[in-house]
Structure 1
Amino acid sequence: MPEIALTQAPAHVRMGSSIGQPLTRREGVLKTTGAARYAADHHPPGMAYAALAVSSIARGRVVALDVAAAKDHPGVIAVMTPANAPKLALDPDAKLHPFMFRLDVLQNDKVRYANQPIAVVVADTLEAATEGAALLAPRYETEPARVGLDGHERFAPQAVGAGRPAEESHGDVEAGLASASRRIETVYETPGQYHNAMEPHAIVAAWDGDTLTIDTPSQGMAFAQDRIAGLFGIEPTAVHIRSPFLGGGFGSKGLISGPQILGIMAARLVGRPVKLVLQRAQMYGPVGHRAPTRQTMRLGADDQGRLTALSHHVHTATSAFDDFVEPAATVSHALYASPAIRTSHEAVRIDTGTPLFMRAPGEAPGSAALESAIDEMAHASGMDPLRFRLANYADVEPISGNPFSSKALRQCYEQGAERFGWSRRPLAPRQMRDEAGMLVGWGMGTATFPAIMFEGHARAVLRRDGTGIVELGAHDMGQGAWTALAQIAADSLGLDLGRIEFRSGTSDLPDAGIAGGSAHTATAGMAIHGAGADVIARLADLATGDSRSPLFGAGNAGVIARGGRLFRRDNEAASESYADILSRAGRDVIEGHGSGRVDPAAQAAYAMHAHGAVFAEVKVDPDFGQVRVTRLVGAFAAGTIVNPHMVRSQYLGGMIWGVSFALHEQAVTDRRSGRVMNANLADYHVPVNADVPSIEAILVEERDIHVNALGIKGVGEIGVTGTAGAIANAVWHATGVRVRSFPITLDRLIEP
């Protein structure tokens, strides 16, 4: 029987006994007791330690390294430089695939950005490796660094993000603006940001001939496997990756990075297993970031507050040697009805590491600008911000005209506003104070994120004892994916959750797709669902074709799988256990395979998005301009909710990220050297517990029969979108001052 790829749920599976339950994490005990092993926890016999030396300039070349001083340091085994680094089978600058980013792995002496690896020191101890790297004393031939968005030649990218056109439009924007009763044109700026996952990038690499085993955090093991195999000229099956747990990724671990390749090269050079773990400061350069943006919003509206035109132009930056462009304007495709919409992007090349996908890529900075502009247009129209959004509610996707596969945004607005108390909001700014005299403001923003699916595969096994095994190369970055996927597995196999053995986290298992784009639960979940359906179909064939079975003659679609038994659909009093069916057939196991993939017809016919509404309260010190977020309420609709407990956690985490975006987070780059000057968690500010307000996430019910057979949409990134704009709008409502540069700091409130 061929692998099952589902676009519709199989008739014999009754869903709901595990899916939808707020279960606790299956791996929670492992993590809280320290038994969960992350990449850097592995110590194979004979392992050596590697440390990077990184560039202190942003552009030029390395002309000298004091290799002798480093090699003479006690404990140092080898110093890897371009002079002795293993040559690769594939040019690391070759662009064979849009997601195959160019890597700096000591194949020449060029420096393309600050913090670029320029040497690797391998030693018997971490201390010796680190001290040896500090002795290299690099000398450079330096060229002026190209920094920031201004003063560089702009270019129109061929594509943005994951391949979306850089410019899209419908209708006549200029005519729409000309006919408008009210127009605004504003510019918003967002800074560069860095992922800063709790777990730094790390690798433990061990060669056995041409077979490579690595422990490394990866959001996409199969993709990493192919990339590594190509670079080292070996078969993908010779690369074994173990990545059961990630301490966060946020997109930075979706693609293999240069430092990970350097760890593998160092292991080959010294003939021993090697561990390389990035220091926190070394994560600001070679492993991606979110690029800065300058976004020009032009909106027009008629006398009733209906949009006549919306133009969203993005000016951003990418590296001097690669092509990733932040797709910030694409968020304007999906939210507000307008007869004319145009989105466009242009970029400059600067001396920085290549930007990369970062939680809600495009949507996070784009929605900050869009939601601020919508708020400004509502004020110009004399309308409440929620009423203005409802007046411009899109019943079809504005840019394409396609109907939405589902859209419960109205319900998000209603439930969020009621819970927040929005009806009590005064229209004019600077009208509310608390008992301490602090200015109080209320703002809102609309949240959206596309419902994405990649291709993934899974294997399921049903054993004679009535237990099941599900295997796939899935990833758990801390969001509880293993638990949610096990819940899907339990329902698809008709077993209680405790009867499921869940195996994941290695590249030797079926490829479950990339854990990114809020797509992992849908992608891997559909693969598991298909594998379970395949198993039950095979089991039903055995039972319904056997005259000794009470299910004889029922046919495959005439049975229901539940609780380790098959039941006749037309008479549930007739049933048989899995164990009895397998025993009578003389079978120990039944194996099934499934895949999850996009249905091209549905994707072409429908716009697929999750939606939400975020309401924010801020308090601002009228004398010093200090801003505190005191309350957030988010209401979100994202199709089938596999585990409400974990989904709510993702929404809360996303909104906290939005607080960070709005008020705290920015990379400060020295314009002379091109170096990030706050490359540490003391100076690169993110919210701490004292900064996190009362947060509430409302799960709005939504059913989607088109997005996939399970109706699942992603929830990992939508909480970020809308939140920064809501906070910015609340700051304006509190103070009457519109700050258009993020993060909103007290100096910008004093001098906006």
Structure 2
Amino acid sequence: MTPDIRLAETPAHARHGSNIGQPLTRREGILKVKGEARYAADNHAPGMLYAVLAVSSIARGRVTSLDVRAAKAHAGVVEVMTSANRPALAEDPDAKTNPFMFRLDLLQNDQVRYANQPIAVVIAETLEAATEGAALLAPRYDVLPARIGLDSGESFVPPVVGVGNPSEMRRGDVEAGLATASKRIDATYETPAQYHNAMEPHAIVAVWDGDKLSIDTPSQGLAIAQGRLAGIFGISPDNIHIRSPFLGGGFGSKGLISGPQVLGILAARLVNKPVKLVLRREHMYGPVGHRSASRQRLRIGLDGDGLLTAIDHHARVATSSFDDFYEPAADASHTLYASPAIATSHEAVRLDTGTPLFMRAPGEATGSIALESAIDEAAWACRIDPLTIRLKNYAEVEPISGKPFSSKALRQCYAQGAERFGWARRPLDPRQMRDDAGLLVGWGMGTATFPALMFAAEARAAVRSDGSGLMEIGAHDMGQGAWTALAQIAADGLGLDIDQVEFRSGTSDLPDAGIAGGSAHTATAGMAIHNAGAAVIAKLADLATGDERSPLFGAGNAGVTARDGRLFRRDDEMRSESYVDILTRAGLAQIEASGKGGPDPAAQSTYAMHAHGAVFAEVKVDPDLGQIRVTRMVGAFAVGRIINPRMVQSQIFGGMIWGMSFALHEQAVTDRRSGRILNADFAEYHVPVNADVPPMEALMIDEYDPHVNALGIKGVGEIGITGSAGAVANAVWHATGTRVRRFPIGIDDLVTTG
């Protein structure tokens, strides 16, 4: 069943010509502001029970006892699921058969591998009873010392980083380049563990009907989740129906099905009733992924003119004690700056934490703040303006591979961003500017880049005899505006106004849209939609051009174009026919077709595909108290074809805010004795709020890229992070003259006591 989502119409006066490129407002916006958009936890199945996790308070050891009797005796408690009575699984939750499969904690034994690991599930008639029952379990443990921090264990070289990337890559002779350099930078930068903290926690409402499973849960990858659950429970994917029309943020944490979501399904099977399980905020710090801490050493060599002779980027990252995901932080140095010698490498250490996973701009966010800080340090060592040194070392081809870029308008980003910001007035030396209140003022910049990715997807389209259109695809909207942007592509593909197209999305019974990750969703799902629309129009054209009664008869060789619900002869636009007339004459209620989208292997092997940008930031710092405030940010981005400028600006602003957060706010603080995260809530895990966010501008640089895909779409979701974090950090140095290499930058880093 497709959810009933009534999408707001966009006023006709706000549109002209093509739907693509128009700044249409969110089609689901009114539903959200009225509270009518139904998220997973808003669903209530008849006879539903509530489940609450009991989680470990230690990071390493085993559970020796749980007071199940006390919990079950509590009023309203129906059942307690532990390793002793958990329903059987068809697949070992610790098995891994592909790179996108990660080990899950599903009460398979009494072992504790990290703090906040689920150790039992209490199921009750009310949420309050389940919560109180979980507290009554009073677990006891055999405790082992927790391994916490990047220096707590022996390191090793991981086999791959990210998703199948080599852990080490080299081009040229780095040591020779460093040896001959006139100036050298050797600096180490540290970034903390960070957690996704989407506004909507992971949640699930699960209903079993024999071997058929129906669930409401937030998902960035419906088909992937469907396949994973099919394997775990030993049922056909066709027997699993997932509804996920809206997500309250994901940032990578909802890309793959998580352990707590599966536990909700298991609880429903155990009691044979519908069950709802919603994670508490603190429960999201452990079983649903995070960005690992890193320590990155950058060695950079430059000649007397400020040209790079070598870049050596080494990253030490963390993973869990029981699984393998390695943040590809050093890979940020592959694509930005021209150097005759580049080396990137990684080492890893195993900790007693939940497994790190994909978090917005994985690798690039972590690596770019270090790289952009190091380039800034190199500029100061050479006494060269930070923008000038970036232009001197501008890469005309991808440095690590030598491939030409499919498109690159970074020079224009530098020029337009710098002009709008007023960069030419920046003094070279730090600590030279103050405002009227005596606050230190600093200006910094950073280069932004993110790969232009695509995955495989499929869509289904139809044109109906009343002249309307239908587009179906199991896509995902986690706040980025997919319901709107993808509908715009659908409307153009069908040659209709957007309000004439019914757009169905967000359920697993629709064609697979791939995963909404890697800033690739619009390109991936958009190309499938575009091709499905083209396939329908081709069928419609065949009907008309082969029918002697049609004014388009015989136009097969000349071809037709579709717009405004009509087909027009290419060689004579005075001859046209409406979709309604074509289908009515053929006696058809509708005509439909499918379309697929995916990366072009030939283009990918030939070109380096990236989006680019430049971010400029102003900060003010109290010289006595060390308080930092970002007061202005300007970003200029070349991100291919813009489907919806309004949605793109929203995404870019979100990325810039996240970059500021990376530089100044975010970190998970872990108790080294227990391994527990001390600030596992929104009060102490700091993210920017409205009062922290400065005036921002996002300039969109025109860019045509015929190679990334037929629509020329690149991603915009994550690129805004990659330049912004470094820009803010560099601005702090320019204001104070103090170079901070451990993030986030705090008051204690800037104020010393005598």
Q: TM-score, normalised by structure 1?
A: 0.98
Task: Name the CA distance, whole Å, in 1 between partners of 2:38 and 2:124.
Answer: 23
1:17 partner amino acid: S
Is contact 1:537–1:556 with CA below 8 Å preserved after alignment? no
Task: Name the CA distance, whole Å, in 2 between partners of 1:683 and 1:751.
Answer: 24
Question: Percent identical across equivalent pairs?
Answer: 76
Offset at 1:16?
6.2
Aligned structure 1 segments of 4 or more residues deviating by more than 2 angstroms: none
Task: Name the CA distance, whole Å, in 2 between partners of 1:399 and 1:470.
Answer: 41
Is contact 1:544–1:556 with CA below 8 Å preserved after alignment? no
Offset at 1:118?
0.2
1:322 partner amino acid: D
Task: Name the CA distance, whole Å, in 2 between partners of 1:157 and 1:662.
Answer: 27
Is contact 1:620–1:735 with CA below 8 Å preserved after alignment? yes
Give the match for residue 322 of structure 2: 321
Offset at 1:87?
1.6
Task: Name the CA distance, whole Å, in 1 between partners of 2:554 and 2:323.
Answer: 61
Give the match for residue 572 of structure 1: 573
The answer as to 2:122 corresponding to 1:121 is yes
Offset at 1:751?
5.1
The answer as to 2:677 corresponding to 1:684 is no
Give the match for residue 19 of structure 2: 18
| 1:452-484 deviations in Å (ceiling 9; x for gaps) | 101011000110111001001000001110100
Offset at 1:169?
1.1
The answer as to 2:392 corresponding to 1:376 is no
Offset at 1:750?
2.4
Task: Name the CA distance, whole Å, in 2 between partners of 1:490 and 1:468.
Answer: 8
Task: Name the CA distance, whole Å, in 1 between partners of 2:344 and 2:556.
Answer: 53
- 1:411-426 to structure 2, matched below 5 A, reads 411-426=412-427
Task: Name the CA distance, whole Å, in 2 between partners of 1:200 and 1:38.
Answer: 10
- 1:189-588 to structure 2, matched below 5 A, reads 189-555=190-556, 558-588=559-589
**Closer, same or farther: CA 751–110 of 1 in aligned 2, 3 Å:** farther
Give the match for residue 733 of structure 1: 734
Is contact 1:430–1:733 with CA below 8 Å preserved after alignment? yes
- Corresponding residue SS for 1:603: helix
Task: Name the CA distance, whole Å, in 2 between partners of 1:275 and 1:224.
Answer: 18
Is contact 1:540–1:556 with CA below 8 Å preserved after alignment? no
Offset at 1:687?
0.6
Task: Name the CA distance, whole Å, in 2 between partners of 1:423 and 1:523.
Answer: 40
Offset at 1:353?
0.1
Give the match for residue 694 of structure 1: 695
| 1:568-618 deviations in Å (ceiling 9; x for gaps) | 111111110011111111211111101110000000000000000000000
Task: Name the CA distance, whole Å, in 2 between partners of 1:153 and 1:306.
Answer: 37
Is contact 2:558–2:569 with CA below 8 Å preserved after alignment? no
| 1:172-224 deviations in Å (ceiling 9; x for gaps) | 10011111111110000000000000000000000000000000000001000
Task: Name the CA distance, whole Å, in 1 between partners of 2:91 and 2:691.
Answer: 49
Task: Name the CA distance, whole Å, in 2 between partners of 1:558 and 1:205.
Answer: 50
Is contact 1:18–1:488 with CA below 8 Å preserved after alignment? yes
1:165 partner amino acid: P
Is contact 2:558–2:571 with CA below 8 Å preserved after alignment? no
1:427 partner amino acid: L
Give the match for residue 620 of structure 1: 621
Task: Name the CA distance, whole Å, in 2 between partners of 1:475 and 1:184.
Answer: 44
Task: Name the CA distance, whole Å, in 1 between partners of 2:743 and 2:251.
Answer: 20
Task: Name the CA distance, whole Å, in 2 between partners of 1:213 and 1:277.
Answer: 16
- Corresponding residue SS for 1:97: coil
Task: Name the CA distance, whole Å, in 1 between partners of 2:627 and 2:366.
Answer: 23
Is contact 1:633–1:695 with CA below 8 Å preserved after alignment? yes
Give the match for residue 141 of structure 1: 142
**Considering only aligned residues, what root-mean-square deviation do their CA atoms show, in Å?**
0.9
- Corresponding residue SS for 1:571: coil
**Closer, same or farther: CA 751–236 of 1 in aligned 2, 3 Å:** farther
2:414 partner amino acid: Y
Is contact 2:448–2:612 with CA below 8 Å preserved after alignment? yes
1:335 partner amino acid: L
Is contact 1:488–1:529 with CA below 8 Å preserved after alignment? yes
2:488 partner amino acid: Q
- Corresponding residue SS for 1:396: coil
Is contact 1:249–1:477 with CA below 8 Å preserved after alignment? yes
The answer as to 2:154 corresponding to 1:153 is yes
Offset at 1:557?
5.8
The answer as to 2:32 corresponding to 1:31 is yes
**Closer, same or farther: CA 556–314 of 1 in aligned 2, 3 Å:** farther
1:135 partner amino acid: L
| 1:86-144 deviations in Å (ceiling 9; x for gaps) | 12110000011111100001010000000000000000000000000000000001111
Task: Name the CA distance, whole Å, in 2 between partners of 1:535 and 1:79.
Answer: 53
Is contact 1:114–1:675 with CA below 8 Å preserved after alignment? yes
- Corresponding residue SS for 1:690: helix
**Closer, same or farther: CA 557–597 of 1 in aligned 2, 3 Å:** farther
Give the match for residue 8 of structure 1: none
Q: TM-score, normalised by structure 2?
A: 0.97
| 1:323-347 deviations in Å (ceiling 9; x for gaps) | 0000111111010000000111110
1:548 partner amino acid: R
Is contact 2:152–2:351 with CA below 8 Å preserved after alignment? no
Is contact 1:512–1:524 with CA below 8 Å preserved after alignment? yes
The answer as to 2:181 corresponding to 1:173 is no
Task: Name the CA distance, whole Å, in 1 between partners of 2:158 and 2:152.
Answer: 18
**Closer, same or farther: CA 53–491 of 1 in aligned 2, 3 Å:** same
Is contact 1:541–1:556 with CA below 8 Å preserved after alignment? no
Offset at 1:564?
0.2
Give the match for residue 57 of structure 1: 58
Q: Report which stretch shifted further, 549-558 or 618-627.
A: 549-558
Task: Name the CA distance, whole Å, in 1 between partners of 2:204 and 2:152.
Answer: 39
Is contact 1:160–1:324 with CA below 8 Å preserved after alignment? yes
Is contact 1:59–1:111 with CA below 8 Å preserved after alignment? yes
Task: Name the CA distance, whole Å, in 1 between partners of 2:488 and 2:558.
Answer: 23
Q: What 5-or-longer segments of structure 1 have no aligned partner?
A: 1-14
- Corresponding residue SS for 1:629: strand
Is contact 2:329–2:363 with CA below 8 Å preserved after alignment? yes
Give the match for residue 13 of structure 2: none
Give the match for residue 11 of structure 1: none
Offset at 1:151?
3.2
1:720 partner amino acid: I
Give the match for residue 99 of structure 1: 100
2:527 partner amino acid: M
1:581 partner amino acid: I
- Corresponding residue SS for 1:727: helix
Task: Name the CA distance, whole Å, in 1 between partners of 2:462 and 2:74.
Answer: 54
1:486 partner amino acid: A
Offset at 1:547?
1.8
- Corresponding residue SS for 1:617: strand
**Closer, same or farther: CA 556–47 of 1 in aligned 2, 3 Å:** farther
Is contact 1:87–1:107 with CA below 8 Å preserved after alignment? no
Task: Name the CA distance, whole Å, in 2 between partners of 1:632 and 1:16.
Answer: 33
Is contact 1:120–1:133 with CA below 8 Å preserved after alignment? yes
Offset at 1:514?
0.2
- Corresponding residue SS for 2:215: strand
Is contact 2:617–2:632 with CA below 8 Å preserved after alignment? yes
Task: Name the CA distance, whole Å, in 2 between partners of 1:522 and 1:576.
Answer: 31
Is contact 1:329–1:344 with CA below 8 Å preserved after alignment? yes
Give the match for residue 591 of structure 1: 592
Offset at 1:554?
1.4
The count of residues paired between Structure 1 and Structure 2 equals 738
